[in-house]
Structure 1
Amino acid sequence: MTALRTAFTGYYGMRNFGDDLFGVLCTRAAQAYWHAAPRVVGPPLAAAPARSTVPRRYPTRWYGGTGVVGKASRWLSFARGIHDCDVLVMGGGSVITARESFRKPMMLSAVERGVQLAAVGVSIGPFDDARDEDLVAAFLQRFRYLSVRDARSHRLAQAMGLEAITHAGCDLAALLPALGPRTAAPVKMPNAPVRVGVAPCRYREDGEYAAPSRRRWEEHLIATLADLRRTRDVCVDVFSLNEHPHHGDSALAQSLVERLRTEGVAATWRAYASQDPLRTVDALAACDVVVSARLHGAIVAYLQEVPFMIIDYHPKCRDFADDIGLHPLLRVTAAEAENPFSEALPALLAGERQPRVSRAAYAQRAPDIFQCAPWAQA
């Protein structure tokens, strides 16, 4: 029997930790649950058991560029991906909206040739108006399978009349316990310093969603860590989880490192590199507590059972926090007036404020993302 030819498309190869992690987990899950021959639409990803549509030696800075070369690279990669596949899957992280993309007409054209469409680990909306919602509903009607990652998206899919194809799933990162590396947890030495992971994000503060002031929460965090340092040894790993030259966090992370050092706090910059998301998973797992503006810094911390706080700058952050029952004290919001870290960080380090939904219960749902699909193998 010929293996199902499955192509996964997403923002892979754009030097973003979360998106590359989706690519790795999707390809592993397709092999495990669909007995498929997976392919990554994009550059090769370390630890992904799949072919890719971009040659290994092709520079990722060209592929992810904003100019003509980058756009042409992504178009050619996508065209190659849909040319010889049975199923084309939007694999993780995408927020499906009415925004136009070159991919949409190419996907619909592929349907006419017999390619089946699916999406896993995605969110839907929100939409500006009913017209945009209707456009997306019409697009998704062409799909064979849709697994959404949050309860709000599931309610919206049902309202769109997509009940027959929609599965109430969770974030694809929840596959980590089942399909990730079987590495032992790092051994904590008795007198080791408290290791705090911080993942900033270059988000907009003037959008429709009320986002907390980036400068304010960073200053509050620095002050709290400087106070904590007076009573115990502290070291901070500042993660740049998106290394894209135009949209990434590298400058933010390096600036935060310098500001922490100015206050006498030991800090190290950790850049995401080499399209190897599992290495970054290990680095996050080595922390005692994580403060993340990047959604997948928070989600991976949760899945690795590391206490965490999330910077609530986007509906997807709120949706995840709601889904796991994250304590309000651990959500940094625009409504925050006082220092949100002064009470929360000591509580987390003391083992308090656990999410209502355990990591095990959340991760238990993850295999169903693939096992409930039409292509699942017994």
Structure 2
Amino acid sequence: MTPTDRRSFVYLGWQGHANFGDDLLHETWRAALDDPLAIEAPLNARDYLRGAAAFARDRLRTRRSERVVLIGGGTTVGFAAWAEHARLAARNYGAAGIVGVGLGAAAGSDTYALDRHQQDWAAWHDLDRLRIAGVRGPITELEVTTHLGPVTISGDPALLYPLVRPVQPAGAVGERRIGVSLGSDPTSRFDVDTVATAVDAHARATGVDQVVAFALSVPDQEVARALSKRLRTPSVVHEYTDVAETMSVIAGCELVVSERLHGAVAAVSLDVPTVPLSYASKCDDFWASLTGHPAPITVGHTADDLVHAMQQADVVRSEITGAVFAQQERLADIRRELTDWRRGARSTADLLTPTAAAAPAAGVEPA
């Protein structure tokens, strides 16, 4: 048995549901860790029962190995449901502990998110041998520090994707494209007509040839088609089916305007000028991690507001380059910790113990 056979990750995420952001995180970690991450924890108790045969096979395959649950990102920490997902995964797979990287939390004042997802910080506090190896941004840093203990900002793990998977820009040579992603469950919080008016105005002023209306999840398809019909600029709808393909289309844009958080994360990672449309605190969390301030466009904006933000996007891109690089370096450090553990060069106790940069959080124990 090789060292890597003696160590296994149990991946905990929401991949496989035709959502670009969650699939992007999963694909990033598969490439970054050179690991298929084939063991994927179910998301609730009944799924362990429904998939009993598959779960039993996974347990049998890893019966002689040491396991760690990896929460690969997403807005998860603080939510009651995700604490239960993590608890069940650790218990059912006999994991030595839980590592979360680049996790996000809703701000305590974010009524939009908290009306949809119940928080239970006590449940996170009670998780055994939990290490949060980095959080998405300053809003999450404040929430986690307040409720669990000190943490450091690592940035969103999807920022690593272009460093571990080559991305070739899609589109005809010389064709100028703007990408626009609208839609959050169950629909967009932004006015389609206002966004279309601003995008058309910017396209006319800058000589853009085409707008790509991204549907980064199934619920986004209707609003993406509505945006495409409303635009006067020639447009196409790109419906997400494959991470690599969508990353190539984003890379082929000269500007991306995105309500979907990971539309903005992907564009930033590819050094594409980006305007995030903030519909919840998680969008501000990511943007503030790079710029020090919330996203420039929020619900209720005017067309002029969005045009101005689009005009400034390339300047902002140049200003955040250093912050993006710093976060990629921090994520690469965590990546090395995880790969060292898997190949047997780092102990489980070391992996599950916070580094000197962050004091141990309440409820966190070494293996």
Match in the other structure for 1:2 = 3
Structure-2 change in CA distance of 1:294 and 1:370 (3 Å) = same
The residue type paired with residue 254 of structure 1 is: R
Say which of 16, 24, 35 aligns to 1:13. Answer: 16
- 1:375–1:70 distance in 2 versus 1, CA, 3 Å: closer
Aligned mate of 2:130, from 143, 147, 151: 143
How far residue 302 of structure 1 moved from its aligned partner, in angstroms, is 0.9
Question: Which residue does the alignment assign to 1:169?
Answer: 154
**In 1, are the aligned partners of 2:168 and 2:251 still within 8 Å (CA)?**
no
Structure 1 alignment gaps of length 5 or more? 43-52, 54-63, 206-211
User: Residues 74 and 21 (structure 1 numbering): CA distance in 2 closer, same or farther, change over 3 Å?
Assistant: farther
Which structure is richer in relative contact order (CA contacts within 8 A, separation 6 or more)?
Answer: 2
| 1:120 partner SS | strand
Q: Which residue of 2 aligns with 1:241?
A: 216
SS in 1 for 2:229: helix
Q: Which residue of 1 aligns with 2:97?
A: 116
Aligned mates of 2:310, 2:243 — CA distance in 1 = 26
What's the CA shift for 1:115? 3.5
* Structure with greater proportional helix content: 2
Structure 2: how far apart are the matches of 1:368 and 1:302? 20
The code of the aligned residue for 1:306 comes to V
Quick one: distance in 2 between partners of 1:150 and 1:94? 11
Contact 1:242 1:272 in 2 (8 A): yes
SS for the counterpart of 1:38 is coil
Q: 1:219 aligns with which of 189, 193, 197?
A: 193
Instruction: List aligned pairs for 1:51-200, cutoff 5 A.
Output: 84=62, 86-100=67-81, 103-110=85-92, 113-126=94-107, 132-139=120-127, 141-144=128-131, 146-163=133-150, 166-181=151-166, 183=167, 189=173, 192-200=174-182
The residue type equivalent to 2:330 in the other structure is: R
| 1:16-35 paired onto structure 2 within 5 Å | 16-31=19-34
Residues 22 and 309 (structure 1), Cα distance of their counterparts in 2 relative to 1, 3 Å cut: same
Aligned partner of 1:344 in structure 2 is 309
Residues 127-151 of structure 1 deviation map (CA, whole Å, 9 limit, x = unaligned): 57x9932232222x53245432223
Give the conservation status (yes or no) of the 8 Å contact 1:23–1:40.
Answer: no
Aligned residues: 322
Q: Distance in 2 between matches of 1:230 and 1:144?
A: 50
Q: Partner of 1:208 in structure 2? A: none
Aligned-partner residue type, residue 236 of structure 2 = T
1:277 to partner: Cα distance:
0.6
Partner of 2:250: 284
- The verdict on how the C-alpha distance between 1:224 and 1:168 changes in structure 2, with shifts beyond 3 A counting, is closer
Question: What is the SS of the residue equivalent to 2:104?
Answer: strand
1:290 partner letter: V
Structure 2 residues without counterparts, runs of 5 or longer: 109-113, 347-367
Cα distance, 1:242 vs structure 2? 0.8
- After superposition, the C-alpha distances for 1:140-181 in whole angstroms (9 at most, x for unaligned) are x53245432223323333334544xx5532111111232121
1:150 and 1:319 in contact (8 A); partners too: yes
Offset at residue 280 of structure 1 (A): 0.8
TM-score norm. by structure 1 comes to: 0.73
TM-aligned CA deviation for residue 255 of structure 1: 1.5
Displacement after TM superposition at 1:312 (Å) = 0.6
Indicate the residue corresponding to 2:111 in structure 1: none
2-structure distance, mates of 1:38, 1:256:
37
Question: Do residues 259 (structure 1) and 247 (structure 2) align?
Answer: no
Q: Distance in 1 between matches of 2:48 and 2:224?
A: 27
Q: CA deviation at 1:79?
A: 7.0
State the identity as a percent: 22
Offset of residue 239 of structure 1? 0.7
Q: Which whole-Å CA distance do the structure 2 matches of 1:77 and 1:269 have between them?
A: 37
Contact 1:196 1:290 in 2 (8 A): yes
Question: Which residue, out of 341, 350, 367, partners 2:332?
Answer: 367
SS, match of residue 5 in structure 1: strand
Tell me if structure 2 keeps the 8 A contact 1:8–1:26.
no
